[in-house]
Each structure stands twice: as structure tokens, then as C-alpha cells.
Amino acid sequence: MFEDMTYENILEQLLKNVPSDVDKREGSIIFDTLSPAAIELANMYISLDIILNNAFAETAERNYLVLKAKELGLEPFSSTKAILKLDVIYRGKSENVVEGDKFILNNLTYTAIEKISFGSWKVECDTKGTVGNTQLGKCLPMRSIKDLLSANLTEVLIYGEEVEETEEFRKRYFKSINSNAFAGNRSDYIKKVKAINGVGQVRAVRAPKGGGSVKIIITDTENNVASEELIKEVKQVLDPSSFEGLGYGEAPIGHLVVVESVSKCSVNVSIKCESDGVLEKSKVEAIIKSYFDEVNENWEKKNSLKIYSAHIISRLLDIDEVIDVSSVSLNGYLKLESDSEIFILNSLEVVN
């Protein structure tokens, strides 16, 4: 808005207001007097432009976008800690791990927070963010635990997340403004479920068990099948099992909420191609998985997902060693029959 208010233009305007019989050349007294004022005025207009941009959500810097969003009750999602499953083996039949025990794997530590069953615990990574999702395997206790033979991290139950990025938060802000989320309608359910740590994509289905019931289908943040722990967490937030339909959760009174995970549709892929040199199977697998991920990312937006062999071929041709792709067989799976499934690569055969 103030692009034309530069030092040069401001100084020119100031000098125009000086009588013509006064020496206005560079180095003159009046020129040297007005020049510092022009610099300060130019800086003021730069500041005004920054203020103007920060007054609108579309152009605001993060801090001011957050302030703007707070007017609607929105804040960026904070970073969260990963929850994992720890399986322990003892020499005897005594459960000697207790809540608060810490374990270490490489450079990360984990704290036991809840017993699942004998020899099985929920542990929380002490470091926030996605780093807690990255490693499984044998870990060591940070204190001496009687009769403990081994401890292994075997599964990520709820994925840790990083702080919500500015542009993602900006999109969510505008989506919130433009949506019709209100009092338990579809948009309201999706908005509330997506705010739960570990949830990725969401679908809401009406009346799976008759009037007054709602089914929520979810993925985890990696667009994979949600763990039982995450499903329980979403159910607890929306409609606690002990008080179903009574309105003690986020769901309105009278709504019975059923929470399910997406299921996997396994796809066997066979590829015949001509290559120049040795074609590494891992490269092909990475290309196909990346394509499947792109398709799965649209699961909540589309009624059905489709895989196209032509799209796979075009991506395979980007591999340096691949000269030509004669055929791609998808084992007949080109379209999902269920609206609660996502694709996974089950097996891959590459024939040169």
C-alpha cells in the first residue's frame, strides 16, 4: 500500500514545498536538513506496511496470526509426546516395573505411564515431537529392576507430533471460518476429532446403529491404521463408554458415538520393465509407496480411492535406470470397495 513512499520520493515531495529561490541542490543546507526527515518518514511507512499486513490473517506473521485466531478460540497445535508399547520379560511371575520407571533406547528416554497387562506397559517418550515415533527395539532400564530379562519397544500407539506449522495453521483458521461447524453436525465432529493428539484424517458417518448414533472413522497422523489405544482415546473424548449418549464428552447429549479405524486394502504389484544396469527393488518400492501415500492422503475428501497403473508408470520412468515399463499389474485392485479402507503395498515383483 505504501510502496511509493520511498526515501527518494518523500525527499522529492519535501523539496517541492521549498520556495524555488532557495538552493535545493544535493549538499545544500535545505537538502541536508530535509534528508534525515525523509529517511525517518520512509521508515515509518515501512512500519505502517508491516502493521497493515499483520492486521489480516492471510498475510499476518505467526505471532499476530495466533492473536487473530484466538478471537475464534483457535490456537496452533502444540508438540506432543509419542506413546509406545513396552513389552517386558521377567525371570519370575512378579511385575516389577512400576509407573514412573524410565527406559533408554539410543538417545531417547521413555517413562512408564500405564500398565496394559502383565509384562506390557504404555510408555511416553520424554522428548516431544515426531522423533519419538522413529525407533523401536531393545531398551535398557535406568534403574535396577529385579528379575527383568528384557524390555522392548514394540509398537507406536499414539504418534507424537511437532508444533503446527504456520501455513497449516493458517489453512485451518480459514477452514474454520468457512465451515459450518455447529453443535454436533458433521463439520463439528471432524473439527473436534482432528484436535485429538495422534489423529490424522477423519470421516463421520450417520446412524450406523439407528437414529442418534454416529460413526467416526479415523487414521493416525501417518495415514495408517489407528491403534486400539488411539481409538479408545477418541471414544473417551467424544462419548465415554461408561456414559454413552449422556453428553459427558464432546458429543451432544443423545448421540451414541462409535469409533473405528480405517482398514488396509493390500495390493500386490507386479512390474515388467527394461532397465539399463541393475534396478534396485528398493527404489521401485519407494516410488510406489510414495504414490500410495498421495492417494491415501485424499481418503477423507473422496468417496472412493483409485490407483492408476499409468500414474505408477510415469513415476517409474523418473528412475534413471528404467528405460521402459511394459506392464504394471495391480492384482485387480484398482478401486476400493469400502469407504473405510486405505491402500498398502503388500508385495512387489519386478521383472527385468
**Alpha-carbon distances, residue 264 vs 269, 311, 338 (angstroms):** 15, 21, 10
Q: Would you state the pLDDT for residue 157?
A: 93
Domain 81-158, what architecture?
A: Beta Barrel (2.40)
- CATH class of the 181-261 domain in this structure: alpha beta
Q: Rounding to the nearest 10 degrees, give the CA dihedral for residues 190, 124, 224, 78.
A: 40
> Which of 10-19, 76-85, 166-175, 223-232 shows the lowest mean pLDDT across its residues?
10-19
Contacts of 221 (CB under 8 A, 6+ apart): 159, 161, 198, 199, 200
Mean pLDDT, all residues of the chain: 89
Reduced to 3 states (helix: H, G, I; strand: E, B; else coil), residue 102 is strand
Q: Give the tens place of pLDDT for each residue, 177-221.
A: 887 767 778 888 998 999 899 999 999 988 787 778 899 999 999
Q: How confident is the model at residue 290 (pLDDT cuts 50, 70, 90)?
A: very high
DSSP conformation letters of 104-170: EETTEEEEEEEEEETTEEEEEEEEESGGGGS--EE-EESS--TTEEEEEEEEEEE---PPPPHHHHH
At 186 the pLDDT is: 86
The domain limits of the chain are: 7-54, 60-77+164-178, 81-158, 181-261, 263-351
Q: Which helix (H) or strand (E) holds 293?
A: helix 281-296
Q: How far apart are CA 203 and CA 194, in angstroms?
A: 10
| Pairwise CA distance, residues 215 & 186, whole Å | 11
Q: What is the pLDDT of residue 332?
A: 57
From 310, 312, 325, 311, select the one nearest 279 (Cα to Cα): 325
Report pTM: 0.73
Q: How confident is the model at residue 342 (pLDDT cuts 50, 70, 90)?
A: confident
Q: For residue 139, what are the β-bridge partners? A: none
pLDDT at res. 73: 86
